[in-house]
Amino acid sequence: MKWCYKISATVLTICCLLVTGCNSKEPEVASSVPVEATELGQTITVINPDSTSNNAVRTQPVSNGEKYQIQTRLTDFQLLSDTTGLAWGTTSGELRLYLTKDNGETWTNISPATAVQFPSNPEYGKEIFFKDSMNGWIVRNSIGASEAMILRTRDGGGTWKLSSLRDSDEVAAMYFNDIEHGWILTVDNKAIDNQGKTLYLSEDGGATWSSIMSNQALPTTKKVDQVLPKSANFVSMIFTDQKNGYISTMKSGLPALYVTEDGGMDWKENTSFFNPAKYQTCKQFTVGETTPFVNDRSTGWIPIGCSRDDGTKFNGYFTEDAGQSWQLVPFKLSWQTDLNEYSEPTFLNSKEGWTIQGDVVYRTIDQGNNWTPLPESPRLKKTLQDYPEVVKLRFISSNVGWLLVAKTDQKRSLLLQTQNGGVSWRVL
């Protein structure tokens, strides 16, 4: 049975006014802004920062608004094109969401109203997902007895509309295949290997949501093998079109992949995906995000980490037939034992990928069979000395990539960009 949840037009109108991130009042101007970016974290130039905090200094006005220098801590990002991307973090429970369309030279604050509080830092693919620079969604998980809040924009964050999800469980993943069709998976996280899961579908851009799959009441009249099992602990979810989707999990300590061919109502395990017999020396496994390649949605990859006493090393599983079969590619990389032991490589397509080991960027053009160290980047080397944790590395093209690094105390971060394939880097 499907359950559809709506909010009345009147309530939506009120909520839209509440969460619209527009405010005609100019923020107070602070007396000064620290200039030591290395010590104080990210400093970005924001245009029209209507709902930003007051640690901003106005610079020279520009034609389309005022410029402000904002000192902030970023916790995640999403690349949209060579020049366009999003970055965000939270300050005192308030989401700070910024959009750049000029390689980070300037940023626009597109945050929802500060009245919408976030108990933790939102993650891409979980609480934040943008299809392009205009269409995006934000989930604020339920707090106490409140419902999960879903905000959506069609104008690049100029206005935000609100809907809700009557589920007190935690939102674990959100994915939109286009601007109308999206999925949200919630989990109860009450016990390891006993995880209740419910999948919701929206066909109107996130305005309403219907439950299409749940394992909460197993066993039921629905066959147990047609839903996601409680014994599989969720990791990631993607849909390549309106019918075909993939969910990666950890089941009894081993990576497991579940697929759907009917839009998420029925799921089955791809039993040929992972063979533990190929990993005789591994004591523990980790599985990364399932990532479809942008230029060919029938191709994609999943990173698998193998840990033993002397460290962790990642290998890759690649598909070229929309997940029907997967090929294991053992990566010729060193075992890692440092702070970034579980930092996985990133791939742009089925051949080209990057990873960072120590302070060196490695690149492959043959699906990870061979990795070439790129020339040393003095900027990257110095930055990693001060910000040793690699939070996230992603490339949107063969030339352009972003790297988010952080201090070990989690209080400072820096976002860097490369425009030559990882050879040199600059702070955005």
pLDDT tens readout for residues 18-74: 444 433 333 332 323 233 333 456 888 888 655 443 333 333 334 455 677 777 789
pTM: 0.84
| Residue 16 predicted with pLDDT over 70 | no
Burial class (CB in 10 A: 0-12, 13-18, 19+), 282: middle
Has residue 344 been placed in a domain?
Answer: no
For residue 211, list its beta bridge partners: 200
CB neighbour list of residue 144: distance below 8 Å, 6 or more residues apart:
none
Has residue 149 been placed in a domain?
Answer: yes
For residue range 355-375, list pLDDT tens digits in order: 999 999 999 999 999 999 999
Contact between 416 and 44 under an 8 Å Cβ cutoff? The reply is: no
What average pLDDT does this structure show over 106-124? 91
* Region for 82 from its dihedrals, namely left if φ exceeds 0, alpha if ψ lies in -120 to 50, beta otherwise: alpha
CA distance linking residue 149 with residue 142, whole number of Å: 7
Structural domains of the chain, count: 1
Has residue 168 been placed in a domain?
Answer: yes
Has residue 341 been placed in a domain?
Answer: no
For residue range 326-359, list pLDDT tens digits in order: 999 999 999 999 899 999 999 999 999 999 999 9
Cis peptide before 219 (omega within 30 of 0): yes
Bridge pairing between strands 268-269 and 327-329: unpaired
| Residue 288 predicted with pLDDT over 60 | yes
Instruction: Give me the amino acid identity at 394.
Output: R
Has residue 2 been placed in a domain?
Answer: yes
The residue whose two tokens read 């104080």 is: 40
CA distance linking residue 7 with residue 165, whole number of Å: 10
Burial class (CB in 10 A: 0-12, 13-18, 19+), 405: buried
Range of the domain at 237: 1-15+144-271
Has residue 249 been placed in a domain?
Answer: yes
Has residue 104 been placed in a domain?
Answer: no
Bridge pairing between strands 284-287 and 296-308: antiparallel
Tokens of 141: 């998980």
Has residue 346 been placed in a domain?
Answer: no
CA distance linking residue 90 with residue 96, whole number of Å: 6
